[in-house]
Chain A
Amino acid sequence: MTSYTTSSIQGYEKPKRLQRLFLELRRNPIVIAGLIVVLVWLIIALLAPYIAPFEPLKQDLLVRLQSPDSEHYFGTDELGRDIFSRVLYGSRITIPAAFMAIMTASLVGSSVGALAGYMGGIPDEILMRFTELFMAFPIIILAMAIAAALGPSVRNLVLTLVVVTWPNYARIMRGSVLEIKNREYVKAVRSIGAPHWYILLHTIIPNALAPIIVYMTLDIGIVIITFAGLSFLGLGPEPTSPEWGRMVSIGIDFFDQWWMWLFPGLAIASLVLALNFIGDGLRDIIDPHLR
């Protein structure tokens, strides 16, 4: 089988770049703080059944609407369910949903963007007009319409998030591919007779991934906020579900029982804030002209 190894041609510098990235990250306390918080949430999501003191769905009307104490750390809700346990379990809905949405959206978006950028011409035109259309809507408004049309469920919410977020990835990837496809090293690979798919997959895309990854870290916060927002609007999982946005929205009717809305709300905020810390730090490192 013919091999089109590129490393000798382009002076592949990826490992060194990664090493520098880790060095920079270590020097950035805010990024470290963000990483720790995210890690804690991941552990909570994995181990929720073992750490949660109560069943998240178990009702106990005798202890309804109790303020936080040593037994119910975050108090109880209108049906006597333990809010601390529900908040812990909530991470098992939000984190996988956001992860699924962002992975699918970036995969779909980058594939389409890479194809459009590489092919150019009419396919490129059609695609870019199409993505502009998606961007004409404020993201949560478009998401609200689609989620309402699909019907409320977590699966449909993930689908909705993919539909509203993929165009950004398409645009970013297209831009990178346009920039890279005429570089010397791509011409070199082409000149030794590599087929298009090989050039795209092995030469162009690996070199166009960095901006996509940075954007993903910045975007995942928006995805989580949007997910919780749609769920807050009643377009997500059923009302009994321990989903954070939904819990806040039910808590509005119990405004004086502040623990009902504050803790699930802070759960969203802590996760998104931590992710934004990481995304910001990463962008500062990779985008050197801002330093």
Chain B
Amino acid sequence: MAFQLYLLRRIMFTIPLLLGITVAAFFIANAIPADPINANLPQNALNNEEMVAAFRAKWGLDKPLHEQYVTYLGNLLQGDMGTSIKTRQPIAEDIRKFLPATIELAVTAILISVPLGIFLGAISAIWRNKIIDYVVRTFALVGVSFPVYLLALIALSLFHARWGLVAGPGRIDFAMEPPPDVTGFFTIDSILAGDWSTLRNVVSHMLLPSIVLASYPLGIIARVTRSSLLEVLAQDYMRTARAKGLPEFAVIFRHGLSNALIPVITIIGLSFGNLLAGSILIESIYAWPGLGRYAFRASTSQDFPAIMGVSLVIAFIYVGVNFLVDILYYFFDPRIRET
């Protein structure tokens, strides 16, 4: 299949999904709460008839449900997700402000967990049922079994509070100036500014949260790599490769791992959603000024419109990442190209 055709197909598949997500979000926001006005307006505004009427008019609440959805979608397309009860700011603006910090953390966590997870999964499969295999499998299980916020607290209390090996909460020391804002990612911005002492400080702050965030995808990726590689190693073509007299290294990496990676790519896309969800659970612990902390505060203070806004944005990012993963497939899985 030509790449253009494949791309077009994936886009055709993604658009209804995105629309479906807005339908689901609309349904959750409007049909489940007993009274959407109660759920979406702060207490003092509820007593103010003018504000209630304005809210009603803006979201078309006196119209039938399908017209309400059209209004909702129209507002959404203009980047209007309503107003946060807690910050009193437009939610879209809040999210734009907090998103870069979270993306930086999530991308770093992916960069840690993907190579390490594939490596650990591979050695675990190669030395199957040896000690190394049991160690890796136990660690992988711990990674997926421990609540991420518990790992975050344990890591913070040991590596920062007790041993002082890394910087504590926040993205950068209080005494330090953040690097000049170009991308919103402190690491890249400080490299661009050529400011190495800032970079060192920023990395030191990022180490704990990104490693903790990486623990869950690391466990999942190692497990999937292991079982996928075990399956591939049992195939006939592996025996053929060995029979040809190829060195064991080439057999495992060239013929084994490259074929075993396809399910791993799927899992990487799916774990990205887990990462964003994990950031909601740990950013507060690390005082990380990202979307996760925003969502945590919204959630603990019952700021319903903000919760819906964050959920929608995360679902969109999730779909976007998995769209990219589908595109990657094309290059990793020759079967797609040939059909």
B35 to chain A, nearest CB (A): 11
User: Which of A132, A134, A137 has the largest number of chain B CB atoms within 10 A?
Assistant: A137
Main secondary structure of the interface of B (DSSP, over half): helix
- B319 CB–A CB distance under 8 Å: yes
A149 touches B29 (CB 8 A): yes
Residues of B within 8 A of A139 (CB): 273, 277
Given contacts A136-B319, A276-B141, contact A145 B153 (CB under 8 A): no
- Find chain B residues with CB under 8 A from A252 CB: 149, 153, 284-285
A201 interface residue (CB < 8 Å to B) = no
Contact of B150 among A234, A248, A277, A280 (CB under 8 A): A248
- Give the most central of B20, B25, B39: most A CB within 10 Å: B20
Q: CB within 8 A of B231: which of A233, A255, A290? A: A290
Q: Is A228 an interface residue (CB 8 A)?
A: yes
Which residues in A have their C-beta under 8 angstroms from that of B191?
none
- Tell me if B165 counts as interface (CB < 8 A to partner A): no
Closest to A244 in B: B147
A245-291 CB contacts (< 8 Å) to partner B: 245, 248-249, 251-252, 255-256, 258, 261-262, 265-266, 268-269, 272-273, 276-277, 280, 289-290
Nearest chain-B residue to A291 (Cβ)? B230
| Minimal Cβ-Cβ distance residue in B for A225 | B147
A144 at the interface (CB under 8 A from B): yes
A-B contact count (CB 8 A): 150
Q: Does A18 contact B (CB under 8 A)?
A: no
The complex places the Cα of A141 from the Cα of B270 at a distance, in Å, of 13
Shortest CB distance A214–B (Å): 14
B318 within 8 A of A: yes
Say how far B24's CB is from chain A's closest CB, in angstroms. 6
Report yes or no: A141 in contact with B314, Cβ–Cβ below 8 A. yes
Give the shortest distance, in Å, between B97 (CB) and chain A (any CB).
20
Q: Is A157 an interface residue (CB 8 A)?
A: no
Q: A262-B153, A277-B141 are in contact. Are A229 and B281 (CB under 8 A)?
A: yes
- Within the complex, what minimum Cβ distance (angstroms) separates B173 from chain A? 19
When the two chains form their complex, are residues B149 and A280 in contact, meaning their CB atoms are under 8 A apart? no
Q: Could you say which of A136, A146, A149, A255 contacts B39, with CB atoms under 8 Å apart?
A: A149
A127 close to B (CB within 8 Å): no
Q: In this complex, which of A140, A149, A225 has the most chain B Cβ atoms within 10 angstroms of its Cβ?
A: A149
Also in contact, A229 and B157, with CB within 8 A (given A133-B17, A137-B21, A138-B273): no
By beta carbon, the residue of chain B nearest A152 is B302
Q: Chain B residues with Cβ under 8 A from A235's Cβ? A: 299
Contact A232 B318 (CB under 8 A): no
Docked-complex contact B39 and A233, CB < 8 angstroms: no
Q: Is the CB of B273 within 8 A of A141?
A: yes
A233 with B280: CB separation less than 8 A: yes
- In this complex, what residue of A is CB-closest to B150? A265
B17 touches A132 (CB 8 A): yes
Asked if B307 lies at the interface with its beta carbon under 8 angstroms from chain A, I say yes
From B169, which residue of chain A is reached at the shortest CB distance? A255
* A285 CA to B329 CA, complexed, in Å: 31
- Taking a contact as CB atoms under 8 Å apart, the answer to whether A138 and B277 are in contact is yes
Residues 305 to 321 of chain B near chain A (Cβ within 8 Å): 307-308, 310-311, 314-315, 318-319
- B33 CB contacts on chain A under 8 angstroms: 149-151
Assess A138 versus B153: contact at CB under 8 Å? Given A145-B28, A149-B33: no
Write the chain B residue with the least CB distance to A138: B273
> Quick one: given A148-B307, A268-B150, are A138 and B145 in contact (CB under 8 Å)?
no
* A265–B282 CA distance with the chains assembled, in angstroms: 14
The answer to whether B231 touches A248, judged by C-beta atoms less than 8 angstroms apart, is: no
Which residues on A sit within 8 Å (CB–CB) of B304?
148-149
Among B142, B144, B145, B156, which residue has the most Cβ atoms of chain A within 10 A? B145
Min CB distance B154 to A, Å, is 7
On whether the beta carbons of A269 and B300 are closer than 8 Å, the reply is: no
B2 within 8 A of A: no
Contacts of A228 in B (CB 8 A): 147
Are A149 and B314 closer than 8 Å at their CB atoms? no
Residues of B within 8 A of A272 (CB): 145-147
| Chain B residues within 8 Å of A132, by CB | 17, 20
Residues of B within 8 A of A (CB): 17, 20-21, 23-25, 28-29, 32-33, 39, 141-142, 144-147, 149-150, 153-154, 156-157, 161, 227, 230-231, 234, 273-274, 276-277, 280-281, 284-285, 295-296, 299-302, 304, 307-308, 310-311, 314-315, 318-319
List 6 contacting pairs A-B, 8 Å CB cutoff, sorted by A: A129-B20, A133-B24, A136-B319, A152-B302, A229-B281, A266-B150
Give A residues with C-beta under 8 Å from B: 129, 132-134, 136-142, 144-146, 148-152, 221, 225, 228-229, 232-235, 245, 248-249, 251-252, 255-256, 258, 261-262, 265-266, 268-269, 272-273, 276-277, 280, 289-290
Known: A138-B318, A290-B231. 5 other contacts (CB 8 A): A139-B277, A148-B304, A233-B300, A234-B301, A258-B157
The 5 closest A-B pairs by CB, nearest first: A138-B273, A265-B150, A234-B300, A149-B32, A273-B145
